[in-house]
Amino acid sequence: MARGGQGLARVAVVVRAGAAPLWWSGVFAAGIGAVPPGITGRRIGVLAGAALFLVGAAVVALARRGRYGALARGAARAGKYDVLQDRAVTVRNWRRGHRWWLLLAFAAALGSAFAVPAAGGLLLAGLGTGLRLKAAWIGRRERAGETLLWVRVDWLDQRGGNPAGKAVKGLRGTGIAAGDAAPGGARRRTAQLV
C-alpha cells in the first residue's frame, strides 16, 4: 500500500459472510433430510433439529463477544492511506476460503439425516442465523459509537476469516458513511431518485 497504508476489511462483513451459505445449505439439507424416516423417526429428528438450531444460533451469536468488545473499544482511527476493501471482495474471499468446509458440512448434514432426519440441516441453519445475529450486534455497536470497525486484511486467517483471532492486534475505525456496507455488514441501500 502507498505510504504505509493498509488494506482493511469490515469486521461485520467478515462475520456475516458465512451466514447466507450456512443458512441456505442448512435449509436445503433439512428439507432433503426430512424425507428418509431415519433411525429416530421424523418427529424426533425435527424436534432435535429445532433444539440444535437454537443452541447453535445462541453459541455462535454469543461466542467471543468479550474479545470483539475489547478490540472495538481500542480501535484506532484509520489512516489517510488505508485502503477500504469492498464488501463484495471480503465476502468472496471468505466464501472461497471456506468453500470446502461448507461443502463438507452440507454433506455431513445430509448424511446425518439417515440417523436423525433434518437435525444436521437445522444445525447448519442455526449456525448461519448465529453469524447474522453476531453481525447485527456488531452493527448496533457501530451505530452507537458512530464508528465502522475494520480489520487489517493481512491479519485475517488464510481463509479470509477470524476477525477477532490471535493475529488481530487491534481494529481501525472510520466514520459511519465510509465503505459500501452499512453498519452490521449488510449491503448499503442507496437513496432512490425520483
The per-residue pLDDT for range 8-20, each reduced to its tens digit, is 999 999 999 999 9
Q: In this model, does residue 73 exceed pLDDT 60?
A: yes
Mean pLDDT of 170-194: 79
Contact (Cβ atoms closer than 8 angstroms) between residue 75 and residue 170: yes
Give the number of other CB atoms < 10 A from CB of residue 3. Answer: 7
Residue 103 pLDDT class (50, 70, 90 cuts):
very high
In this predicted structure, what is the pLDDT of residue 94?
A: 95
Q: In this model, does residue 3 exceed pLDDT 70?
A: no
In this predicted structure, what is the pLDDT of residue 42?
A: 86
Q: Which helix (H) or strand (E) holds 172?
A: strand 172-174
Portion of the chain with pLDDT greater than 90, in percent = 70
Residue 2 pLDDT class (50, 70, 90 cuts):
very low
DSSP per residue, 89-132: HHHHHHHHHHHHHHHHHHHHHHHHTTTSTTHHHHHHHHHHHHHH
Q: In this model, does residue 191 exceed pLDDT 60?
A: no
Mean pLDDT of 74-82: 89
Contact (Cβ atoms closer than 8 angstroms) between residue 1 and residue 7: yes
Rounded to whole angstroms, the Cα distance separating 152 from 172 reads 8
Question: Within its chain, how far is the Cα of 169 from the centroid?
Answer: 20
In this predicted structure, what is the pLDDT of residue 144?
A: 92
What Å distances lie between residue 126 and 26, 52, 54, 64, 152, CA to CA?
8, 7, 6, 17, 28
Answer yes or no: pTM beyond 0.85.
yes
Mean pLDDT of 104-116: 92
Q: Round the average pLDDT of the chain to a whole number and report it.
A: 90
What the block records as the C-alpha cell of 91 is: 465476502
Rounded to whole angstroms, the Cα distance separating 3 from 16 reads 31
Q: In this model, does residue 56 exceed pLDDT 60?
A: yes
Rounded to whole angstroms, the Cα distance separating 164 from 73 reads 13
Residue 190 pLDDT class (50, 70, 90 cuts):
low
In this predicted structure, what is the pLDDT of residue 192?
A: 39
Contact (Cβ atoms closer than 8 angstroms) between residue 109 and residue 121: yes
